[in-house]
Amino acid sequence: MGRARILAVANQKGGVGKTTTAVNLSASLAAAEKDVLLVDADPQGNATSGMGVDRDGLEASIYDLFVNGHDIRGLVRPTSLPHLSIIPSKVELFGAEVELVGMEGREAILKVALAPLLDEYDYILIDCPPALGLLTLNALTAAGSVVVPVQSEYYAMEGLSQLIVTLGLVRESLNPGLFIEGILLTMHDLRNNISRQVEQEIRGHFGDKVYKTVIPRNVSLSEAPSFGKPIIMYDIRSRGAQSYLGLAREVLGDV
């Protein structure tokens, strides 16, 4: 176990596989016996429910960290997967954006809170909301790098360009060391000309910043969250599971 690498999983565009990636990359790293903490910083709480945690039954969530100064250790919950823990979220987190506005040091609340946990995990992954508000700024301020899921569709480059501008602004004012860990092509269909064209364009523009692994459109990946399981616990033989295991190997530097 080492000092944790903090990865924010972020894209200002919704529906690109961001939470799917946060959940399944976390689970795949844990399957490699790395100690992983998944932080659900999205008010929708889909990473929380996707890991089988009942949002309605939570006594405390990440909202209490941001707004009430709750001790972060009291928010960490085990999951059904060894080596993987989660800090859950629920819908009240939507209110935190407004409540944080007047707070001093509001962009660094998560960074300060995570500091005591760095020696307890190998990886900390933060699932960001699909918007650039104070919650996403907290994640980008806390993170060392960003994993950017990009759907293989026409407007992919447009959303990616916006995010790169945002990351530049965060580097200037909040987190000078922040860098792109990797760009991940998601919902990819090799039979589709658009998917192939988008992949060619993004690889041509960003080179080795784009992961070799591509996440396919896969029924099992869509079904797994409704069972509260990451894909490797729902259908490990599926193309989706094998793809996320491949992504974990890239993140670990094993390929």
pLDDT along the chain (255 residues), means of 10: 87 87 98 97 95 90 92 94 95 86 88 96 96 92 96 79 90 95 89 83 92 93 94 95 97 80
- Specify the pLDDT at position 158: 77
250/4 Cα distance (integer angstroms): 17
6/121 Cα distance (integer angstroms): 10
Contact 184, 247 (CB under 8 A): yes
Q: Full-prediction pTM beyond 0.75?
A: yes
- Specify the pLDDT at position 183: 96
The ranges assigned to domains in the chain are 5-250
- Specify the pLDDT at position 128: 95
Of the candidates 248, 244, 105, the one whose C-alpha atom is nearest the C-alpha of residue 186 is 244
> Which CATH code is given to the segment(s) 5-250?
3.40.50.300
